[in-house]
Structures are given as C-alpha cells and as structure tokens.
Amino acid sequence: MNIALISHPVCREHRMGAHHPECPERLSAIQDRLIAAGIEMLLTHYDAPPASIEQIARAHDRVYIEMIQSIAPQVDDVLVWIDGDTAMNHRTLEAALHAAGAAILGVDLVLNGRHHAAFCAIRPPGHHAGRGSGSGFCIFNNVAIAALHALEQHGLQRVAIVDFDVHHGNGTEEIVLNDERILFCSSFQHPFYPGTGADTRAPNVINLPMPGLTNGESFKTAVEAAWLPRLDDFRPQLILISAGFDGHAEDDMAHFNLREADYAWMTRALKRLADQHAQGRIVSCLEGGYALSALGRSVAAHLDVLLGH
C-alpha cells in the first residue's frame, strides 16, 4: 500500500540557534533512513501548501496568530524568543504555516481516498502550542488544526488524536478539551516537562502519565488497558497521530526506554483500529525525537507498519 509523505523545504530553514535539539538535521536523518531502508521509494511525495489564517484560527486565538505574525523576524541572523526554548528566525513563520498545511493536506488526501495514510515530516512541531500560546519548540498546533479541519470542512463526527510523544500534549489537550467529537489520548513521562496532564479529568481525554525508565512492556500494558478499548468504543472515522519518538532509549531529552519495535507495535495497534473503524485512514505528524539515528530508525519502523508490512 502506498502512503503520502508530506513536507516542505522551508521546514529545514526554521532554526533556533546552534546546538538546539530541534534542528533541521532531524528531517535529514529521517530521509536518509527511509532511503537506506528501501521505504522512500514506496512513498508518494507532496510539498505542503501553507495553511490559511482561517484554518489556523479554528485552533488558535486570532490575537495569538497576529502576535506571531507581528514578531516574526524579517532578516536573517535574528532570533525572537517566544519562551525559554522556542525561537523564531526569519523563516519560522513560513515553516509553521507549511507544517500546519501539511497536516491539513494529509487529511484531505486520506479523506478523498488518494491514500489510506499520510506522514507529515514537518517542523516546527505542534503539540505544546495552545489556543493562545506557543512553547516547547511549537508555534501552531498542527494536529489540532488538522482535526478541526476534518470535522468542520469534511463533516466527520468522530476523530481520534493519539499522542505518544514522551511529553504531554498540553497544547492539544487545551484546544480539544471537552469537545466530544475528539478523543484525545496522550502518553508521557511524569513528572516531567511540561508538568501537566496527570490530573486531567475530562470525558474525551485519556492521559497515561508514566514514570521515567518506562519500557516497552509497561507501555504496551498501559495502552492495552486504557486506550485501545476506549478507541474501539469511540469508533473514530479518522486517526491522527502526534508521532513523537523522544521516548526512545537513545534519546537523552527524556528517560523512557522504548525501542523501534515498541513504536511499530503502537502503530500496528492503531492501524488495526483504523482498518476496523476508519477505512484505514491515518494521518501522522512528526513531533519530538532528537537522537538522530534513533529518530530515523523509529520513523522507518512507523512507516513500515503504515505501509502494511
């Protein structure tokens, strides 16, 4: 089965300074591994269009969008910091618009029947961006924008967002909280950045806070108990994935002990649900993952399952 790979060259031009872990080399590591694994030739490549302000405003306050537009640098070699670890250079706004546009295009492609699945190789990531704030390397919430596009433009009634990044998707949770059309599942190390999610009580949110050193077996047990039955009962018409691979044992940004096989297992479980309820429709968007070799291998394992292997 052929899937869509959506990206844009400007996503490599967003830079937050030397030695920042969320770097353009992340996309190169993914591309190199997909070529080495023989997967790249099985993908249909698309350049992401920019999202419109109207599409972004489904998830974000217009005051916030206008603030991001107003502070975006206009010249090279200038960084504007929106929080302690999130900066904008002169290409960041453009990259963020195309990152959100990639997620939207992914939804359009799978709902129009062009592909059963899509992977968005994009940066900046999105799941820490809330309605009126960016943080944690994130400017606009790509997955939340995509979910609301699927609901409001395509008329879906039930969309699931599954976030297996090692950090809680606090921005996504803020945007979708108590929206009964969306079931949001987030697994994350706790206590850890951003320090949220462990005490959320909302009918459409299933958070899995787990301790440092969580391994694949513990992760699988928690997902099988908490997520899979609820997702099955919810019967999503589309599954969106916040695909963060920073829980890998080689990634020193956090302290999980997951491996490529664990990401493949998670993807396989979601693919079975998508095949049963959503005509196989999955759109996956890159979030974290900062150990370059581990990131490339994990994305390859993720896409190998989405390809049906």
Active site (annotated) includes residue 14: no
Handedness of CA 233, 202, 281, 240 (dihedral sign): negative
Identify the active-site residue in 60, 127, 128, 190.
Answer: 128
Active site residues: 128
